[in-house]
Amino acid sequence: ECISNQHPVKMLGEWLNEREHPRDNSDGIIMLKMVTKHPALRVSADGKLMSDESRATLELLPLRCFFDQSAVRYIQRFFSANTNGSDAEENDGDELDDELINVFFQTFKVFPCKLKVDYMPEKMDVDAFRDGNYVEILNLCPLEEMVLTLQEVENNDLSGWGSVFRELAGKWIEDICATQAHKFFTKAAPIQVFSGLGEGMADLVII
């Protein structure tokens, strides 16, 4: 992305570390296996088009992430605008029903994955924080080399890629908040020096 800086910044890539997590040279960063079954009848008895049924597994290599608040907000606005535009188009007529048939996922399984994240905030939205958007607390100070583990997730009976990734993101965020929230404090730049003295000292500083 070139939003946060004049020079291109690679937001997402492979986290190379042969000592911590050696890899097979034949592995890709994203490995998706998907088995799809076509319905015997494309049109149901009530005249509706039937979607394909799929089973999928997704495996990710350890990822290295460099995020900037301005770039993240731009991406959020971009996809939000596309979603609103799609909703408006769906109201124009029934012709789109023949074109936009979401795949039905019987199962969608994602294996565990590790991330190392650097995050550079610009400004905390105090009003949003007061309204209950506690994610804004991440914009208080930069995060450096924070390691997160994304747990294994299996979703069932979902229609469309959007539903799959929304459920996936929701479960990952819920797990991170429940089990790894302390890392957002120990890897914050102002107190990272103290966290290097040991977990006990870091806990004392936070308290």
pLDDT digits 0-9 by tens, 112-122? 999 898 888 87
Query: Which of 24-28, 165-169, 192-196 comes out lowest in average pLDDT?
Result: 192-196
SS (H, E, C) 133-186: CHHHHHHHCCEEEEEEEECCEEEEEEECHHHHHHHHHHHHHHHHHHHCCCHHHH
Q: Supply φ then ψ for residue 53, to 5 degrees.
A: -115, 130
pLDDT exceeds 50 at position 69: yes
pLDDT digits 0-9 by tens, 142-185? 888 888 899 999 999 898 888 898 899 889 888 888 888 777 77
Euclidean distance between CA atoms 165 and 185, whole angstroms: 27
Query: Which of 81-90, 126-135, 150-159, 170-179 comes out lowest in average pLDDT?
Result: 81-90
